[in-house]
Structure formats: structure tokens, C-alpha cells
Structure 1
Amino acid sequence: MGSIRLKNIKIYAFHGCLVEEGQIGSDYLVNLKVKANLKNASKTDALVDTVDYVLLQNIVRQEMAVRAKLLEHVAKRIIDSVLLQAEMVNEVKVSVAKKNPPIGGDVAEVSVTMKEKR
């Protein structure tokens, strides 16, 4: 077993409950970690024997492009899509963080972290 991690994927998206958030958008950071059996890949040096992190990046970008009110909803969609498209993945952990959330205070970011096993 091993893990692959994509750290601080920067994305501009339009999530949030406020109408303005859907119009103006905001900066987001997404962190994704998947667990899979990487033993064969370590021997063969072949992309087909591992989880392609380009695929993982594309999944994150595609799901972040679909507007949602809640970060929880976006995180769940990312998890579901990874489990559907990357058959080798046994576990997915994702954090979605909104930078400078409109909550009436000096808060650098608000984030949601979710994890699921196959």
C-alpha cells in the first residue's frame, strides 16, 4: 500500500450559498490524497500500474468547475469521481478550502475535509 498526494491545487471557482459568490467567485485550495497498492508500479516503472496524478488533477478541476452551495457537496463529488475513474484507489481523502470566506471576520480560509474507503 502507498499513497499519492496532490498538495494545494489552486483553483478559482464559484461555490457558496450567497448569490454574490456565484457571480464573483473566490480562490480555493484543494488537497487530495489517495491510497492504492503501488508495489507493482515500483517494480515495473509503468504508468498503467499506478494511479495517474494527471487524472486526479483533472477530476478535481472538473468537479470544482460545477457550482455548489456547500464545500461538503464538492468534496463528496470529488471523492465519488476518483473512486469511479481510478479503480486502483482504495481510499480518498480530500480537503477543499475557500480563501477569504465572506463570514464577517478576519479568517484566512474555511475548509472541509472528507475521507472514504472503497
Structure 2
Amino acid sequence: MDKIIMKNLRFYGYHGVLPEEQEDGQNFIIDLEMYLGLHKAGNSDDIKDTVDYGKVYGIIKEITESNKFRLVEKLAEHISREIMSTYKEIDKVSVTVKKPEAPIDGEFDWVGVQIVRSRNG
């Protein structure tokens, strides 16, 4: 299966369980992989035969910056649902949400979740 990959998309949002996460916000990094057939676009060289990742970026930005979720699982689920409902040609999507500034007492690069959703379960 072919895929379109979007890595390290950066947004500022207000997601988290703690009150300060909901009030002060923090940076989030999102990776997206969209599985679909790209053979037609590869032959036609026409944007209408593929998924416009500029529009996908806009969807992710809107969801991440305009909502407040307690869990990054909810953010990832919301992104996956919106992408799959907007683009019927996508068979499967993988969404990774990273929190590089999670309120954890220790050293780390990021914590987060990855979900994979497909049309056939």
C-alpha cells in the first residue's frame, strides 16, 4: 500500500489533564501517515488524483489549535476521524501525537500516543 507521510507538524494547543496544561498550553508535534493508492496520481501528475497535504495540514491545525482535550488519545482519535471522513480514498491512517513538554519530572524527548485506524476495522 502506498502512503503519504507528514512528519513533525508543530502546533500550540491546550490539551492535558492538569489545569495548567488547559490554561497555559504547550507545544505538540504530530506525525501522520495516510495509506491509499497513489498509482493514478503517479501517472497523471494531477493533484486531483491524490490527497492535498496542504489541506490535510489545515485540518490538523484547526483540530489541534481550536479544541481542548484532556487526553492526547482523544486528539489523535479526532484527527483520524476527520481525515478518514474527509478523504474516502484513504484506507488507513496512523496518527502520532507527541508532547515534548509533558509535565513529567525527568529527562525525555517526548511522550505521546500513536493510533492506527482503517476502514475495515
TM (norm. structure 2) is 0.93
- Match for 2:107: what amino acid? D
% identity of equivalent residues: 30
Shift, 1:23, TM fit = 1.2
2:117 pairs with 1:116: yes
Provide the residue aligned with 1:55 in structure 2.
55
Structure 2: tracts of 5 or more residues without a match? none
Q: Are 1:8 and 1:30, in contact at CA under 8 Å, matched by a contact in 2?
A: yes
- Match for 1:96: what amino acid? V
Other structure's SS at 1:89 match: coil
RMSD: 0.9
Shift, 1:58, TM fit = 1.1
CA distance in 2 between partners of 1:90 and 1:62 (Å)? 22
CA distance in 2 between partners of 1:38 and 1:7 (Å)? 19
Q: Which 4+ stretches in 1 moved above 3 angstroms?
A: none
CA distance in 2 between partners of 1:117 and 1:61 (Å)? 22
Structure 1: tracts of 5 or more residues without a match? none
For 1:5-56, what per-residue CA distance to the aligned partner results, in whole angstroms no more than 9, with x for missing partners? 0010011111001111111111111000001011110111111100110121
2:72 pairs with 1:71: yes
For 1:49-92, what per-residue CA distance to the aligned partner results, in whole angstroms no more than 9, with x for missing partners? 00110121111111112110000000000000000111111100
Q: Are 1:100 and 1:107, in contact at CA under 8 Å, matched by a contact in 2?
A: no
CA distance in 1 between partners of 2:13 and 2:101 (Å)? 13
| Matched length | 118
CA distance in 1 between partners of 2:83 and 2:109 (Å)? 28
Matches within 5 A, 1:1-118: 1-65=1-65, 66-118=67-119
